[in-house]
Chain A
Amino acid sequence: MGFDHFLQWLSETSFSATMRESVWAEPLVETVHVLTLTLFLGFVLFLDLRLLDVMLRHKRVSEMFAQFNPWLFGGFAVMIVTGLLLFSADPANFYSTLFFKIKMIMLVLAALNVVVFNATLGRRIDEWDTAPRTPWKVKLAGAISLVLWVCIVAAGRGIAYALPPP
């Protein structure tokens, strides 16, 4: 019940109304959401592929994190804000689709993967940072992240097709 109220409240906010009624708001926000994929998703995939020993192998993993993380966080902020705005245009219908729920669950799992990685393998990064090959557990963390993000993109596309036509 509480959550339905939240969706209801969200759909009555002024920015929700703007997203629905303005000709330019929705295409503009969606364009920013899609083009920021290059910054956010691109960098996530680079880090995953580095953990998998596939890409930019000459760089230490700690150096990758140090250089990519600030941009990654910036990109993530843009993705969250634009994503929330798109969602706010029609909260109840978004939430009613299976793809939206899948996407949200995958996002939580991707975040969990980062938290677990930082608390375990990331803490001992000095032990494997300069190793010629990343340990299999590190590769596993990279693979999990990669699969989750591919699914998040797929689910995101799915939402657009599952939504009832305007």
Chain B
Amino acid sequence: MSVLKDGLLAFCEWCNASFFGHAIRDSVWAFPFVEIFHLLALAILGGSMLVLNMRLVGIGFRTDSVSILARELRPWIVGSILVMLLSGFLLFSTEAVKMYGNWAFQAKMSFLFLAILYTFTIHSRVTHREDSSPAVRWSTAIISLLLWTGVGLGGRALGYVTTAAASVTP
């Protein structure tokens, strides 16, 4: 376990010291510029998930079958996740070592791992077929919503946790 921890910490230190970590940290506008992409991808990813899950449980978009919507939205979901991962990684690299010890960041990454795993396994299965029972549809949609909301809340919280820690340390 400590090998893994050491490895993660070394990775965070490498990110901190990397040229992009440096470049974004040293620039006044690079950080907010990357944040804009993170937010736009959030809108596309969250919007796609809302549409798909609402259709899955039948509270909207009922003129299309679930599987047609799932197929149409898939490239947008995959694309926005990639943009979020890349932009998120760049934001992370500016204070990677600080994030390593941030509980909100750890929670966000745990939720993110589960959300991505879930989206491309169970969620993908259920949304690409038409014969699931209402109970399966509802539980699939709710779990998806909870996991992604966890990622979002973790993301909001990590900013405040950093601020709190920074104001305590002299």
Are A35 and B36 in contact (CB-based, < 8 A)? Answer: no
User: Of all chain B residues, which has the CB nearest A35?
Assistant: B152
Residues of B whose CB lies within 8 Å of any CB of A are 28-29, 32, 35-36, 39-40, 42-51, 60-61, 63-64, 68, 72, 76, 149, 152-153, 156, 160
Residues in B whose Cβ lies below 8 Å from that of A63: 63
Contact at A38–B42, with CB atoms within 8 Å? yes
Tell whether, in the assembled complex, residue B46 and residue A37 are in contact, meaning their CB atoms are under 8 Å apart.
yes
Beta-carbon contact of A42 and B43 below 8 Å: yes
In addition to A42-B48, A46-B47, 18 A-B residue pairs with Cβ atoms within 8 Å of each other are A30-B156, A31-B152, A31-B156, A34-B39, A34-B42, A35-B149, A35-B152, A35-B153, A37-B46, A38-B45, A42-B50, A45-B47, A46-B51, A58-B68, A58-B72, A67-B60, A157-B36, A161-B32
**Chain A residues with CB under 8 A of B68:** 58
What's the minimum C-beta distance from A84 to chain B, rounded to whole angstroms?
19
Instruction: Decide if A73 is an interface residue (CB 8 Å cutoff).
Output: no
Residues in B whose Cβ lies below 8 Å from that of A161:
28-29, 32
Q: Which residues of B contact A37 (CB under 8 A)?
A: 39, 42-43, 46
**Residue in contact with B47 in the complex, picked from A27, A41, A150, CB distance below 8 Å:** A41
Distance, CA A43 to CA B60, complexed state (A): 13
Q: Contacts A42-B50, A45-B47, A56-B72 given: A34-B36 contact, CB under 8 Å? A: no
A67 x B61 contact (CB < 8 A): yes
Q: Which 5 A-B pairs have the closest CB atoms?
A: A42-B47, A38-B46, A41-B43, A42-B43, A31-B156
Collect the chain A residues with CB atoms within 8 Å of residue B76's CB. 55
Q: Among the listed B35, B47, B63, B160, which residue makes an inter-chain contact with A38, where contact means beta carbons less than 8 Å apart?
A: B47
Which residues in B have their C-beta under 8 angstroms from that of A125?
none
